[in-house]
Structure 1
Amino acid sequence: MNENTHRLAVPLLSGLIASLSLSGCKLEVLDSKGVIGSAEVSLIATATYTMLLVVVPVILLTLFIAWRYRASNTKATYAPKWAHSTAIEVAIWAIPAVIILYLGILTWKTTHELDPYKPLQSDVKPINVEVVALDWKWLFIYPDLGVASVNQLAFPVGTPVNFRVTSDAVMNSFFIPQLGGQIYAMAGMQTQLHLLSDHPGDYAGISANYSGKGFSDMKFRALAMSSADFDAWVKKVKSAPESLSMDVYAGVARPSEKVAVRYFSTVDPKLFNNIVAKYNYGNSVVGANCATKG
């Protein structure tokens, strides 16, 4: 093996070893359990396979050229004045252009189909959940049921879940990898996300945007249950001794790490709107003061 071949073999072997070592890792985002997640996995796979139509031939041709024109191969044609080939120019420009056009159309179409603000079509009545990102925990309010929980989200299987998401801290990102989609949580603003689980399960929920020292433990569990189990969960939450008033919420919102699951049997119905409005009110006051001084 000459020096040139050795230089090619080392990185290829390293990449193979790395791939094999990572093959046992579970990528939850590719293990979809919902309609949105499945559509996103399909998009990722289609885009990857399409790009491989260029990547694989380029890799193979690179290896072939390196082998064919190695220093020890005296039979290879030496053409230092060769400069142009119309066929090669057409191939290297036309093929990537077609692939990029295809990927552009595919991305445009699926971006609109998977718009997080677009409600899911279903014969089943959706359940509404208000999500508040805190330091460093998640608060889930069920406005129609009058209950709330910290770091635990529950919903029936096969039922669309309509999320309204905000933050009472720095910007964050609400993400349940196996159900698909993520959406930013920002103070003074409301974003929306619509998800549905096809299978019962206990799914990981995470923060996907760095938000300080407690970020790594800002996790929650998303429980997809049968209707009977969900009703039992709601009954359990309603029997909790705590109520979530504005005063109690002030304590919940204080920065804390590795927070255990917590239930609230009743919730101030204006809590979510008050959380959003307090930042807008502050901005309005600042704007009014600036206008007065001007």
Structure 2
Amino acid sequence: MKPYRIFALLPLLALLGGCNAIVLNPAGDVAMQQRDLVIISTVLMLLIIIPVMALTVFFAWRYRSSNTSAHYDPDWDHSTHLELVIWAAPLLIIICLGAITWMATHLLDPFRPIERTAPGQTVARETKPLKVDVVALDWKWLFIYPDYGIATVNQMAAPVGQPIHFRISASSVMNAFYVPALAGMIYAMPGMQTQLHAVINKPGDFKGFSANYSGDGFSKMRFDFLAKNDADFGKWVSDIKAAGGNLGRTEYLELERPSEGVPVKKFANVDPSLFHLIVNLCVQPGKMCMHEMAAIDAKGGLGLAGADLVQRIEYDKSARRGSAPVLAKAYVASVCTTNAPMGMEMTEVQQPTPVSSTPLQGAGLPRPGTTFQSFAPRPSNS
């Protein structure tokens, strides 16, 4: 390419001035610290990369075949000074990167409550964080505010300068909750709960999305993150409460169905136990929750004799999305007791029967933590 053509392309670089590199110019203190970590790590690595690239060009030019003035030493094979430089510099950089990474891993742990809202501004002990429960649906985001009893779809808001505590889960497949202006991405997984602590320091309208491919509607799985001052945030909450709308089990099961490009929805009343039920995969009435099954297992389980007396838990994303035939709903409804006749239909079991606190033991199985009982024949003394 001729030189004048290169200069002709330079004005196009001015168009990049309209780009908002939000990762390098975030609005939240956690994201700023993560940005600084990226910059520091990049600069440390460039301390090796740039000299190596420069020396590669220098040696190729210096020792080209046409340069007869360059010193030629075919018997040279070792230099202690050169070896020290080659190995010492990368070693020092690796030590620096390791130390920085170790400190940042603990200080920026998403499960760890933040200790500052900005440089030099520590979080007071009496400060209460804004609690937000996040659920990744197909293909939309549900935000529940347990302290306010409201919920929204594809839109959330937070007051500037107040710590935010996210609890994150998913309804179907793994996603990644990501607001570049706020903090790094955190995975959202069905049947599990992850956390994120962050703070937003500048008012404005920011974008959030899923950073993990999750199917057909992934490209439209975006939401608005609104950073407001305290007064505007209070008005935002009041407007939602005034608009009405209820989000209970029935409404959630309808909302959970796969859909794309869903507009913003708001709910003035939310079932307080909804997020707990979502995480434990038991929003459907009568379905045993994972924590209930875990409690049974912790007490010794149902044993071999009771293994076939309950139906298994099945959580298949293809069946839930309607892309696979659903033969029958299979899940643990309850433990069979005298209060739950064997012939009772699934629809008649509205709540799991309470389980006795007496440790459960199977047919011949020892209680967990005790010595295993061998069924092998004992050797004779003769």
Shared fold per TM-score greater than 0.5: yes
Mapping 1:246-257, distance limit 5 Å: 246-257=249-260
The structural deviation recorded for 1:107 is 0.4
The structural deviation recorded for 1:289 is 7.8
Q: What residue is the counterpart of 2:68 in the other structure?
A: 74
Q: Give the conservation status (yes or no) of the 8 Å contact 1:29–1:180.
A: no
Q: What residue is the counterpart of 1:201 in the other structure?
A: 204
- In the alignment, which of 27, 37, 44 is matched to residue 33 of structure 1? 27
Which amino acid is the alignment partner of residue 215 of structure 1?
A: F
Q: What residue is the counterpart of 1:262 in the other structure?
A: 265
Name the CA shift for 1:94/1:23 in 2 (closer, same or farther; >3 Å): farther
Percent identity between the two aligned chains: 49
1:49-93 Cα shifts (integer Å, max 9, x gaps): 111111111111111111111122122222222211111110010
Q: What residue is the counterpart of 2:346 in the other structure?
A: none
Larger radius of gyration: 2
Which amino acid is the alignment partner of residue 247 of structure 1?
A: T
TM-align CA RMSD = 2.4
The structural deviation recorded for 1:290 is 8.6
1:152-178 Cα shifts (integer Å, max 9, x gaps): 010100011100000001011111101
Which amino acid is the alignment partner of residue 243 of structure 2?
A: A
Which amino acid is the alignment partner of residue 260 of structure 1?
A: P
Which amino acid is the alignment partner of residue 173 of structure 2?
A: V
SS in 2 for 1:187: coil
Structure 1 runs of 4+ aligned residues shifted over 6 Å read: 287-290
1:127-175 Cα shifts (integer Å, max 9, x gaps): 1000000011100000010000000010100011100000001011111
Query: How far apart, CA to CA, are the structure 1 residues paired with 2:91 and 2:182?
Result: 33
SS in 1 for 2:243: coil
Q: Give the conservation status (yes or no) of the 8 Å contact 1:146–1:265.
A: yes
1:6-56 Cα shifts (integer Å, max 9, x gaps): xxxxxxx9xx99x96995543221111111011111111111111111111
Q: Does 1:189 align with 2:192?
A: yes
Q: What residue is the counterpart of 2:145 in the other structure?
A: 142
The structural deviation recorded for 1:114 is 0.4
Which amino acid is the alignment partner of residue 78 of structure 1?
A: Y
SS in 2 for 1:88: helix
- Deviates further, 216-225 or 273-282: 273-282
Q: What residue is the counterpart of 2:289 in the other structure?
A: 281
Which amino acid is the alignment partner of residue 183 of structure 1?
A: I
SS in 1 for 2:94: helix
Q: Give the conservation status (yes or no) of the 8 Å contact 1:117–1:193.
A: yes
Which amino acid is the alignment partner of residue 156 of structure 2?
A: L
Name the CA shift for 1:282/1:193 in 2 (closer, same or farther; >3 Å): closer
Structure 2: gaps of 5 or more residues: 1-5, 116-122, 283-287, 309-362, 364-382
Using the size of structure 1 for normalisation, the TM-score is 0.88
Which amino acid is the alignment partner of residue 173 of structure 1?
A: A
Q: What residue is the counterpart of 1:64 in the other structure?
A: 58
Name the CA shift for 1:39/1:22 in 2 (closer, same or farther; >3 Å): farther
Which amino acid is the alignment partner of residue 134 of structure 1?
A: L
Structure 1: gaps of 5 or more residues: 1-12
Query: How far apart, CA to CA, are the structure 2 residues paired with 1:126 and 1:194?
Result: 9
- In the alignment, which of 174, 178, 181 is matched to residue 175 of structure 1? 178
Using the size of structure 2 for normalisation, the TM-score is 0.68
Query: How far apart, CA to CA, are the structure 1 residues paired with 2:190 and 2:289?
Result: 12
Mapping 1:89-104, distance limit 5 Å: 89-104=83-98
1:93-140 Cα shifts (integer Å, max 9, x gaps): 011001000100000001100000111232342110000000111000
Q: What residue is the counterpart of 1:87 in the other structure?
A: 81
Mapping 1:90-169, distance limit 5 Å: 90-121=84-115, 122-123=123-124, 124-169=127-172
The structural deviation recorded for 1:278 is 1.8
Q: Give the conservation status (yes or no) of the 8 Å contact 1:217–1:257.
A: yes
Query: How far apart, CA to CA, are the structure 2 residues paired with 1:277 and 1:271?
Result: 10
Which amino acid is the alignment partner of residue 164 of structure 2?
A: V
SS in 2 for 1:28: coil
Q: Give the conservation status (yes or no) of the 8 Å contact 1:203–1:223.
A: yes
SS in 2 for 1:49: helix
Name the CA shift for 1:168/1:290 in 2 (closer, same or farther; >3 Å): farther
- In the alignment, which of 234, 239, 246 is matched to residue 237 of structure 2? 234
Name the count of aligned residue pairs: 278
Which amino acid is the alignment partner of residue 281 of structure 1?
A: C
Structure with bigger RCO (C-alpha 8 Å, 6+ apart): 1
